Chain A
Amino acid sequence: MDLQNITYLVVGATFALYIGIAIWARAGSTSEFYVAGGGVPPVMNGMATAADWMSAASFISMAGLISNMGYGGGLFLMGWTGGYVLLAMLLAPYLRKFGKFTVPQFIGDRFYSKSASTVAVLCLLTASITYIIGQMTGVGVAFSRFLGVSNEVGIYVGMGIVFMYAVFGGMKGITYTQVAQYIVLILAYTIPAIFISLQLTGNPIPQLGLGSDMVGTDVSLLARLDEVVTDLGFGKYTTTTAGSTLNMFVYTLSLMIGTAGLPHVIMRFFTVPKVADARISAGWALVFIAILYTTAPAVAAMAKMNLIRTVTPGVVMKGVDPYSADAQIKADERPDWMKRWEKTGLLKFEDKNGDGRIQYYNDKTKNEDVKKKAEAAGWKGNELTVNADIIVLANPEIALLPNWVIALVAAGGLAAALSTAAGLLMAISAAVSHDLVKGIFKPDISEKGELLAGKISMAVAIVVAGYLGLNPPGFAAGTVALAFGIAASSLFPAIMMGIFSKKMNKEGAIAGMLSGLAVTLFYVFAHKGIFFIKGTDYLDVIGGANSFFGITPEAFGAVGALLNFIVAFVVDKMTKEPPEHIQHLVESVRVPRGAKAVDGSHAH
């Protein structure tokens, strides 16, 4: 069977599975709709959380980014996993004990203020909607690349599938579908990695392969990679940091607290039966996430190695000088996968010096030695550009793996994007129907009415997300920074202070959230434009790019969070204590005993 038909078959089978699960897990009550009835066992909840968390960005983009960045790419690995430690210890068990459906509801009740809850809804919606645009775009790209349909058709199909299981199944349908999606995506990620690790190092476990010797030699893969890349003018793979040590530090911290503050992740911990389960559930989630996250660095380094092997065949294994006359591959003998990806525009080759061969090196290097060698060899600049996003998808093709593996990777990419989109839609729907409609506009709405409002708001959210996916506002890359910045600078500190400071009052919390949010938006917009509108950036106002101690806008969330804490404590000291019953509420949230099934009733 050819690649196209196998891909149809594998992707079709996974979709049939998701829809089957959705029919089986239809939600009947608001509790089943929002929190799956609070009855999901911890291991299964961990698996669903992992699928929810690992988006198209983790699956498709991350290894490619690490491949280009080397050591500095570790900030994604540590940042997107370390947040779970914070989540497990600082937020999840206490929010589960609090026992309500949504994050804004906790903030509203704890800070005895509708305004606080409204600010939280606003933050939640902005973070979730910006995040979901990227997912829908990812769905469209994956469909059009692998199924040969147009981008638009891809997004419509994706919207239809998510609609089926999210609207009818609610959190219960989403949770069980995500378990299936996790299994698909993790197989799709690890199987090619195992093959490639075997080819390069003879070790089938990628995590060990990355620390092993190259097959048939006694030089370790990383040591050889360091030599090869520095020879071509790139930074040393194992030591090149991301900007500066300070930037890497702050960036990692921002991703960690952003992870812990993202509402669609926090929501997952309302679905477990007990407080103790919320703690252990975060551990299981991280186990399942770690399987992909510890494989990613191996995929990254090995893809870099394979790319160099493809362009300059004798260099890696036989130690041929890449600058010698016939070391580089002839352009018309380049492999088919390169030609296939050239059509997408994500891989580009341009014969700058007209010698009919491909030269791949860093032509912006400051290494005089490399510059001299390149000049002596008659090289006129780098001739091959590879978009980071194709590394994972092209990986099985680069390593010449069988067609079914390529088909599986397509299904995996779709599973990653769909599962995250569904989780985000759930968070949006709950915020709108539960926190806005029931909490503020129409408190006397019946359970049936609320369920209907939830389904309608989810359907609207799907259409909006689909529309934005079809007409991406051209800010996909910047929006991730915004989503994490908001979660880190506004939601995380507010929830944490709500639990760990009995005396924190509403004035402090609101002032903290607003100032953390404002300063983060100010810094992000200065770089990326006001609401990402091109031409409205105002870098000169803040004194140039990354002017705050060289910190990039993506890394700024941690600074916003710090300001949030400081402002909150200062304002708290100047205003009056929270009422007695709120202090009792905090005391009761801190102990597990008496945890009830999660319900949605508003306390006042």
Chain B
Amino acid sequence: MDDNGKAYWSATLGLLTKILVIWFLVSFGAGILFADALNSIKLGGYPLGFWFAHQGSIYVFVALIFIYAKAMGNIDRKFDVHED
């Protein structure tokens, strides 16, 4: 792989890592591991940990994919590997 290709791939992996960290934190973190602790905080009528498990993580997932698609498009153009 040439240098541009290497740099492109490491930029891609960097983005993936960031997204996966957030993906993990909202679902497995806030929704499962720390749900009990978060339940003492209320979001309207929702205990916060319960909200993450039943609502919040889904909203964040949707946002993550669109953010990924946008950021990935920028990386494609920056390294000049985008489609025509």
Residue positions of A touching B, CB distance < 8 A: 66, 71, 73-75, 77-78, 81-82, 84-85, 88-90, 93, 207-208, 210-213, 220-223, 238-239, 245, 248-249, 252-253, 274-276, 279-280, 282-283, 286-287, 290, 293-294, 297, 587, 590-595
Measured as residues with beta carbon below 8 angstroms from the partner, the interface class of chain B is 35 or more
B46 close to A249 (CB less than 8 A): no
B61 close to A210 (CB less than 8 A): no
Using known A-B contacts A85-B61, A89-B16, determine if residue A593 contacts B82 with beta carbons closer than 8 Å.
Answer: yes
For B68, the closest partner residue in chain A by CB is A89
The A-contacting residues of B in range 18-44, CB under 8 angstroms, are: 19-20, 23, 27-28, 31-33, 35-36, 39, 43-44
Which residues of the partner chain B approach A75 to less than 8 Å between Cβ atoms?
53
Alpha-carbon distance between A239 and B82 when the two chains are bound, in angstroms: 47
Alpha-carbon distance between A210 and B51 when the two chains are bound, in angstroms: 10
Alpha-carbon distance between A212 and B16 when the two chains are bound, in angstroms: 36
A252 close to B28 (CB less than 8 A): yes
Which residues of the partner chain B approach A223 to less than 8 Å between Cβ atoms?
45
B58 close to A294 (CB less than 8 A): yes
A81 close to B61 (CB less than 8 A): yes
Which residues of the partner chain A approach B65 to less than 8 Å between Cβ atoms?
84-85, 88-89, 279-280, 282-283, 286
Using known A-B contacts A77-B58, A238-B39, determine if residue A88 contacts B50 with beta carbons closer than 8 Å.
Answer: no
Q: Write the nearest CB–CB distance from A47 to chain B, whole angstroms.
A: 14
Which residues of the partner chain A approach B9 to less than 8 Å between Cβ atoms?
590
Using known A-B contacts A587-B5, A593-B82, determine if residue A71 contacts B61 with beta carbons closer than 8 Å.
Answer: no
B69 close to A245 (CB less than 8 A): no
B81 close to A71 (CB less than 8 A): no
B55 close to A297 (CB less than 8 A): yes
Q: Which of A81, A93, A220, A252 lies in contact with B45, CB distance below 8 A?
A: A220
Alpha-carbon distance between A276 and B76 when the two chains are bound, in angstroms: 10
Q: Write the nearest CB–CB distance from A197 to chain B, whole angstroms.
A: 13
Q: A239-B35, A276-B76 are in contact. List 5 more A-B contacts (CB 8 A).
A: A85-B19, A245-B32, A252-B32, A279-B65, A590-B12
Using known A-B contacts A85-B23, A587-B5, determine if residue A294 contacts B55 with beta carbons closer than 8 Å.
Answer: yes
Alpha-carbon distance between A73 and B50 when the two chains are bound, in angstroms: 10
Q: Write the nearest CB–CB distance from B40 to chain A, whole angstroms.
A: 11
For B8, the closest partner residue in chain A by CB is A591
The 8 closest A-B pairs by CB, nearest first: A220-B45, A74-B53, A283-B65, A211-B44, A297-B54, A279-B69, A211-B46, A591-B81
Alpha-carbon distance between A593 and B5 when the two chains are bound, in angstroms: 12
A239 close to B76 (CB less than 8 A): no
For B31, the closest partner residue in chain A by CB is A78
For A42, the closest partner residue in chain B by CB is B69
Which residues of the partner chain B approach A283 to less than 8 Å between Cβ atoms?
62, 65-66, 69
B58 close to A593 (CB less than 8 A): no
A-B contact pairs, 20 of them (CB 8 A): A71-B54, A77-B53, A81-B61, A85-B20, A88-B68, A89-B68, A211-B45, A211-B51, A222-B46, A222-B47, A223-B45, A248-B32, A253-B28, A276-B76, A276-B82, A283-B62, A283-B65, A587-B1, A590-B8, A593-B81
B61 close to A84 (CB less than 8 A): yes
Using known A-B contacts A82-B61, A89-B68, determine if residue A595 contacts B83 with beta carbons closer than 8 Å.
Answer: yes
